[in-house]
Amino acid sequence: MEEQYIKAVERALALPRRKRREVLDDLREIFASAREHGEPEAAVLERLGPPEDFASGVEEQLGVDRSRLFRRRLVLAGAAAALAAAAWGLLAWIGARRLPEGVIGQADAMTAIQVRGGLDPAWILAGLGTAAILAAAWLTVRAVRRR
């Protein structure tokens, strides 16, 4: 029940990561101290009240503005989406300009020279673009869920 309660507070709490971690550690201490004093877990849970209330009490005292936090998270998601668009756009542009395979120095005929090795920048861009799309999606979901 203790872990469940702490998890529920974690889900409800709209705080920066470090502060959230501190609140959760304190909750663990609350349960541990009560155990140390021989108080049953049920009594602690009853005193703590619903996890959502505990979370909102902390937010209220720390002056957390949920709508501002939501907007900030959406802006972050937007920035990730823009990065994804830029990466894929650049990739498409490079693709359009790319010379046919096997052509060196724009010669008409095939040459025997082959260029090998090195990481293709296109792959890096594709990876970046994919990561940015995933990040944008994750940030949006998180922003909406924590609203």
Partner 1 sequence: MRQFKKGSLEMILLCLIAQGETYGYELLTRLNSGGASVLGYAREGTVYPILYRLQDAGLIRCRMAPSAANGGAKKYYALTERGRETLGELIAFWRAYARCVEDFIGEVPGEETAAWKSSI
**CA–CA separation, 66 vs 11, rounded Å?**
14
Q: Under 8 Å CB-to-CB from 133, ≥6 apart: which residues?
A: 80, 81, 84
Q: Does 5 bind partner 1 (CB under 8 A)?
A: no
Q: Does 28 bind partner 1 (CB under 8 A)?
A: yes
Minimum distance from residue 2 beta carbon to partner 1 (Å): 12
Q: Does 54 bind partner 1 (CB under 8 A)?
A: yes
Based on CB atoms, which residue is closest to partner 1, 57 or 127? 57
Cα 82 to Cα 21, 70, 86, 126, 127: the distances in Å are 30, 18, 6, 14, 15
Based on CB atoms, which residue is closest to partner 1, 37 or 116? 37
Q: Does 127 bind partner 1 (CB under 8 A)?
A: no
Minimum distance from residue 70 beta carbon to partner 1 (Å): 21
Q: Is 63 left (phi over 0), alpha (psi -120 to 50) or beta?
A: left
Minimum distance from residue 62 beta carbon to partner 1 (Å): 6
